[in-house]
Amino acid sequence: MTNGLTDASRALLQPLSRSLRNHPKRITAALAALLLTAGGGAFAVASLGPDAADLPQQRIAQPVQSLASDATLAQLTDRPAFTLYRSEQLRSSDTAESLLQRLGVADPAAAAWLRRDPNVHQNLLGRTGRSVTAETTDDHRLTRLTARWAPDDSGNFKRLVIERSGDGFASRVESAPLTASSRLSGGVIRSSLFAATDESNIPDPVAVQLAEIFSGDIDFRRSLRKGDRFSVVYETLEADGEPLRTGRVLSAEFVNNGKKHEAMWFEEPGSKGAYYTLAGESLRRAFLSAPVAFTRISSTFSMRFHPILQKWKAHLGTDFAAPTGTAVRTVGDGVVEFAGVQNGYGNVIFVKHRSEHETVYAHLSRIDVKKGESVTQGETIGAVGQTGWATGPHLHFEFRVNGKQQDPMGIARSSEAAAPISAASRPAFDRVAALMRTQLNSAELIQQASAE
């Protein structure tokens, strides 16, 4: 159950073992603090992927770096001089000077050299969000600067290395393969899903996937409770141990209002993969609960001031706040009944589903479908806008059954689920499910330990 934690702890201890012998108490305290604070309370101790042997190594890189920049470690090391590591993300306004300053480098010669280097101009300055690590001497002079990024989907990444060489510096750009691995993390909801994932350093695409995976059971826009918690295992593509790309969520658990929901990704032979409960039930329903993907600004409101009629009116339907241009997707398979302009609705699409179910998507900035066209669940049919009677960009969505308005969440929740795991795939599924169970339990244990 706690393999990840023990492996990581062992690996953490190795590079510090010498100091541990000399200063057992201090290093233990430092290590404990590190385990509890690494990744801002999230669990940075992911070592559960298929390449588990590689992971602790990589995991160490960050914590030890952050420790190394701490003055306490300086006292713990026996060497008179030591290396400081610091990582930063490039900002659009960064100059060589401002970047070095944030990296804790005080080295005018290095700044002057960076300003002149073509590799720096081409691959660093102006590359907002690119992550850079500096290694400096204890008097803050630059010894090495490294940046890593994935330019395309080739499975390789680029590494810019600038190193001290003689009186000056030398730079080179290298290429190397990204390494796939999985990460285990979790969090507790205090205000919103994104606040919790931010706190745990979980990338946004993972937060969005979490909300989408459980969207049939949990209303992330309206029903999250303070104290709800989650664990998640997701794929990452890493460059020298630094995650550059986020992949798919492999398994997750979400406790909403005391009720536990679970999911794992599984590919049945001959079909594309999907999410199932760990017992093998499909999480896919006949209808999605929302016509736009969950985002940071997702919200709903039920009463609004009508800008044209100048009065408050009960609002039929659900509004999804989203920027103009956000993809609008049909929530279920069906046929386009109407696609065009109608007064208050502006650009609007009506989709007819089976059993007298009908959905309406209004205020669109763009319509991608025509009357009579067949659409499948999740297909993009248009884009969010503010045509018709809309005070700002949002999607007005209605779900009607026999012409009557219904709560989309309720419809989605009670709609038919896709087929469970087939009997033929059951043995393979159960093996993966057992592994996922172990990983999720580990995430939970680690989380509890960090909360104490």
The residue with its CB nearest to Zn ion is 396
The yes or no reply on residue 398 touching Zn ion (CB under 5 A) is: no
Closer by beta carbon to Zn ion, 38 or else 321:
321
Q: In this structure, are residues 99 and 90 in contact, taking their beta carbons and an 8 Å threshold?
A: yes
The yes or no reply on residue 329 touching Zn ion (CB under 5 A) is: no
Residue 103: φ, ψ to 5°: -85, 5
Residue 110: φ, ψ to 5°: -65, -45
Closer by beta carbon to Zn ion, 285 or else 394:
394
Separation between Cα atoms, residue 136 and residue 167, nearest integer Å: 16
Closer by beta carbon to Zn ion, 59 or else 396:
396
Separation between Cα atoms, residue 159 and residue 146, nearest integer Å: 7
Instruction: Provide, rounded to whole angstroms, the least separation between the CB of residue 345 and Zn ion.
Output: 9
Q: Using alpha carbons only, what angle is made at residue 424 by residues 422 and 426, rounded to the nearest 5 degrees?
A: 70
Closer by beta carbon to Zn ion, 94 or else 319:
319
Q: Identify the burial level of 429 via C-beta atoms within 10 angstroms of its C-beta, where 0-12 means exposed, 13-18 middle and 19 or more buried.
A: buried
Considering only the stretches 70-78, 330-338, 388-396, 423-431, report the one whose residues sit in contact with Zn ion under the rule CB under 5 A. Answer: 388-396
Residue position matching structure tokens 């690996």? 11
Q: Using alpha carbons only, what angle is made at residue 335 by residues 334 and 341, rounded to the nearest 5 degrees?
A: 125
Instruction: Provide, rounded to whole angstroms, the least separation between the CB of residue 303 and Zn ion.
Output: 11
Instruction: Provide, rounded to whole angstroms, the least separation between the CB of residue 387 and Zn ion.
Output: 12
Closer by beta carbon to Zn ion, 100 or else 322:
322
Q: In this structure, are residues 288 and 215 in contact, taking their beta carbons and an 8 Å threshold?
A: yes
End-to-end Cα, the chain, rounded Å: 19
Instruction: Provide, rounded to whole angstroms, the least separation between the CB of residue 315 and Zn ion.
Output: 6
Instruction: Provide, rounded to whole angstroms, the least separation between the CB of residue 349 and Zn ion.
Output: 14
List the one residue from 59, 229, 396, 400 that touches Zn ion (CB under 5 A): 396
Closer by beta carbon to Zn ion, 357 or else 396:
396
Separation between Cα atoms, residue 292 and residue 342, nearest integer Å: 21
- Amino acid making up residue 61: A
The mark string for 279-318 relative to Zn ion (x by CB under 5 A, - otherwise) is: ----------------------------------------
Considering only the stretches 48-56, 88-96, 118-126, 393-401, report the one whose residues sit in contact with Zn ion under the rule CB under 5 A. Answer: 393-401
Considering only the stretches 20-28, 90-98, 392-400, 429-437, report the one whose residues sit in contact with Zn ion under the rule CB under 5 A. Answer: 392-400
The mark string for 85-104 relative to Zn ion (x by CB under 5 A, - otherwise) is: --------------------
Closer by beta carbon to Zn ion, 186 or else 291:
291
Instruction: Provide, rounded to whole angstroms, the least separation between the CB of residue 357 and Zn ion.
Output: 19
Separation between Cα atoms, residue 396 and residue 301, nearest integer Å: 11
Closer by beta carbon to Zn ion, 279 or else 316:
316
Closer by beta carbon to Zn ion, 210 or else 362:
362
**Cα-based distances in Å from 81 to 47, 73, 139, 169, 247:** 32, 12, 9, 21, 40
Phi-psi region of 104 (alpha: psi -120 to 50; beta: other; left: phi over 0): left
Closer by beta carbon to Zn ion, 285 or else 396:
396
The yes or no reply on residue 319 touching Zn ion (CB under 5 A) is: yes
Instruction: Provide, rounded to whole angstroms, the least separation between the CB of residue 118 and Zn ion.
Output: 53
Buried b (16+ CB within 10 A) or exposed e, 282-309: bbbbbbbbbbbbbbeebebeeeeeeeee
Q: Cα 37 from chain centroid?
A: 20
Instruction: Provide, rounded to whole angstroms, the least separation between the CB of residue 149 and Zn ion.
Output: 41
Instruction: Provide, rounded to whole angstroms, the least separation between the CB of residue 309 and Zn ion.
Output: 13
Instruction: Provide, rounded to whole angstroms, the least separation between the CB of residue 42 and Zn ion.
Output: 37
Q: Binding to Zn ion (CB under 5 A): which residues in 114-133?
A: none
Q: In this structure, are residues 210 and 194 in contact, taking their beta carbons and an 8 Å threshold?
A: no
Instruction: Provide, rounded to whole angstroms, the least separation between the CB of residue 308 and Zn ion.
Output: 13
Q: Binding to Zn ion (CB under 5 A): which residues in 196-225?
A: none
Q: Number of residues in contact with Zn ion, rule: CB under 5 A? A: 2
Give me the sign of the Cα torsion angle 87, 91, 210, 284. negative
Q: In this structure, are residues 230 and 261 in contact, taking their beta carbons and an 8 Å threshold?
A: no
Closer by beta carbon to Zn ion, 398 or else 444:
398
Closer by beta carbon to Zn ion, 49 or else 388:
388
SS3 69: coil
Considering only the stretches 157-165, 271-279, 389-397, 417-425, report the one whose residues sit in contact with Zn ion under the rule CB under 5 A. Answer: 389-397
Instruction: Give residues in contact with Zn ion (CB under 5 A).
Output: 319, 396
